[in-house]
Amino acid sequence: MSLHATHRDAGQVTVVDLSGKITLGDGSALLRKTIRGLLDDQRRKILLNLADVDYIDSSGIGELVSGFTAVKNQNGDLKLLHLTKKVRDLLQITKLYTVFDVFTDEGTALRSFS
Amino acid sequence: MALTTKHLEMTLETQVESVNLAEEMCLRVAEAAGFGEDDCYRIGMSVREGVINAFHYGNQERPEKKIHLAVDLTAEKMIIHVLDEGIGFKLSDVPDPLAEENLLSTSGRGIFLMRAFMDEFDVVPGKTGGAEIVMSKKLPAPGSAPANGRGGQNATPQQEA
């Protein structure tokens, strides 16, 4: 498995801790399954912690966007925390850095949902 | 590294595993050629995106079709070719992923990333049909790239005849 995902509740926000690679195949599929599973459980405030994600390809970027849209469509919010340099650079050159709310501090990120 | 043209090629199955295989193979060549960590990342990502493009868009994920990968290492640059067995496409027909209306598209960023990460990039009709992605990266000047210590021993490309 190229990606590992665990999630924890912080009040009404669910923090998803991801580690590994979000790439074509298992990584993208696991991210999709995780977000869809949270939405099925009525968890609509989602913070993706990408501190240990060191690699994302175009498939992974697409899955982040797909998750963002799916959550928005249910009147929720999906935000990003602790981007690595490579991931931040990728989001910047694809102009997605302006689409996502991105945080470097978990407390600030959690408060932004209220 | 000797300043002679070296050539390596492989035929890949149309399956997800080929993406990782192609990336790893080209990373080893890039490291052996002296590229630094950042350039290796860009080359590896570009190869990955090229093979994803062939797998998904070119060959339509049909397992009977093949993906042809070739690497040429000259005195000046590393040139990568990715050929699919699809119907081909024109670069001008590829939507701009940075356009406002495409920002939330879930696909269509692979070509953009290859263009961003490589020095030269083009798509030409394949000799036997399909689309051939041709992209290159200039070799680092001698002594300018930090050694990153990964791999390399098994990456020596075959000398071209």
Helix (H) or strand (E) holding A17: strand A13-22
Residues of chain B neighbouring A94 (CB-CB closer than 8 A): 97-98, 109, 112-113
Chain B nearest-CA residue for A63: B106
Q: Which CATH class is domain A3-107?
A: alpha beta
Number of domains in chain B: 1
Give the nearest chain A residue to B99 (CA atoms): A95
Q: Residue B132 pairs with which residues in a beta bridge?
A: B83, B124
| Structural domain range at position B25 | 6-100+108-140
Q: Which two tokens stand for residue B60?
A: 């339509």
**Radius of gyration of the CA atoms of chain A, in A:** 13
Residue B46 lies in a domain: yes
CA distance B160 to chain A (A): 32
Q: Closest approach of chain A CAs to the CA of B97, in angstroms? A: 7
In tens, the pLDDT along A90-109 reads 999 999 999 999 999 999 99
Q: What is the DSSP letter of B2?
A: -
Which residue blocks in chain B are alpha helix, DSSP H?
16-33, 37-53, 110-117
Give me the residue spans of the domains in chain A: 3-107
The SS3 of residue B122 is strand
Provide mean pLDDT across the span B103-122: 97
Q: Report the run of H or E that residue B70 belongs to, with start and end.
A: strand B66-73
- Contact residues, A window 27-56, toward B, CB-based 8 Å cutoff: none
Residue pLDDT, tens place only, B44-91: 999 999 999 999 999 999 999 999 999 999 999 999 999 999 999 999
Least confident of A21-30, B3-12, B13-22: B3-12
A57/B48 CB distance under 8 A: yes
**DSSP-derived secondary structure for A46-100:** EEEEEEEEEEE-HHHHHHHHHHHHHHHHTT-EEEEE---HHHHHHHHHTTGGGTS
**pTM summary value:** 0.90
Region A35-53 average pLDDT:
98
Percent of chain A with pLDDT over 90: 97
Does B155 reside within a domain? Answer: no
Q: Which among A25, A62, A65 is the nearest to B16, CB-wise?
A: A25
Cβ atoms < 10 Å from Cβ of B47: 28
What percent of chain A stands above pLDDT 70? 99
- Chain B neighbors of A61, CB-CB under 8 A: 109
What's the CATH code of the domain at B43? 3.30.565.10
Two structure tokens written together for B117:
């990460």
Contact B98 A95 (CB under 8 A): yes
Residue B145 maps to a domain: no
**ipTM, 2 decimals?**
0.93
Tell me: the pLDDT tens digits for A17-41? 999 999 999 999 999 999 999 999 9
What is residue B151's predicted lDDT score, i.e. its pLDDT? Answer: 36
CB contact under 8 A, A66 and B16: no
- Report residue B75 CA to chain centroid gap: 18
Total residue count of chain B as it appears in this document: 161
Does B117 fall in a domain?
A: yes
Q: Which helix (H) or strand (E) holds A109?
A: helix A106-111
Enumerate the residues of chain A whose CB falls inside 8 A of the CB of residue B97. 94
User: Dihedral, CA atoms, B55, B60, B63, B66, nearest 10 degrees?
Assistant: -50
